[in-house]
Amino acid sequence: MGSVIPLKKSANSAYLELKNLLGDKLQKVESLIQEKLKSEVNLIQRMSNHHLRSGGKRLRALLTLESAKLTGYKEEKRDINLAACVELIHSATLLHDDVIDESELRRGVKTTNSVWGNQSSILVGDYLLSRCFEMMVEDGDLEVLKLLSSTSSKIAQGEVLQLQHKGEADLLEETYIDIINLKTASLFSAATKTGACLSGSNEKEKKALESYGRNLGLAFQIADDALDFYAKEKLFGKEIGKDFF
């Protein structure tokens, strides 16, 4: 008999497999985020709830949890706390992104800026970041604090670099890679490296997971940008061609 060639997994089935493996922990991440975002300011609470209810795969949180598990972290608390931090950084950047891009839809749901306006959305994005930094300080790991704070800086630089080249039809491939490396891949690589930091991995393991996260982030953003050209709005969850224009 000839050898059996294994079927390739689809991206969705690979994601579902990862989510099923870490489903209980991911739910704890969700609960922690909701708890940390509670506010006595009614508008903040409503906007945070609206943003969180819009969904999302929580891929960056899953990468943090899985990297910690992969490298031998066996405790229950810090991986959940830091996975929530990574997700809050991502959520904050989405709120800011939607203002910059003047987006009206995300994941098929009205964006917070289209409902409550740009000023409130920017301030609530800042609130998410501030809560995230409180959680990082509570964790007390200086390596992780430095990693995630520098990642927040890289994301902001990526957004500004993108604005700097806005409208360039002849944008260089090198510049495009620089932009998505800063605004997207930096958080993916921080997520995977954070998991390795949690388990006290050596530098070689940290660098390997950081490289994996970066390349996954680059591939993720390239695919997202390609979908902006030819996806169906109902499936894509946001306006087609918006990023291009």
Going residue by residue through the chain, which has 245 residues, state the pLDDT in tens, using 9 for 90 and above.
445 455 556 667 888 888 888 878 999 999 999 999 999 999 999 999 998 887 778 999 999 999 999 999 988 789 999 999 999 999 999 999 889 888 888 877 889 999 999 999 999 999 999 999 999 999 999 999 999 999 999 999 999 999 999 888 888 999 999 999 999 999 999 999 999 999 999 999 999 999 999 999 999 999 888 887 775 555 555 566 666 66
- The 8-class DSSP code of residue 2 comes to P
Residue 111 C-alpha from the chain's centroid: 17
What are the structural domains of the chain? Answer: 22-236 (1.10.600.10)
**The model's pTM:** 0.87
Question: How many CA atoms lie within 13 Å of 120's alpha carbon, on the beta-carbon side?
Answer: 16
Whole-angstrom Cα Rg for the chain:
18
CA distance linking residue 24 with residue 27, whole number of Å: 5
Please answer whether residues 96 and 125 qualify as being in contact, where contact means their C-beta atoms are separated by less than 8 angstroms.
yes
Please answer whether residues 52 and 37 qualify as being in contact, where contact means their C-beta atoms are separated by less than 8 angstroms.
yes
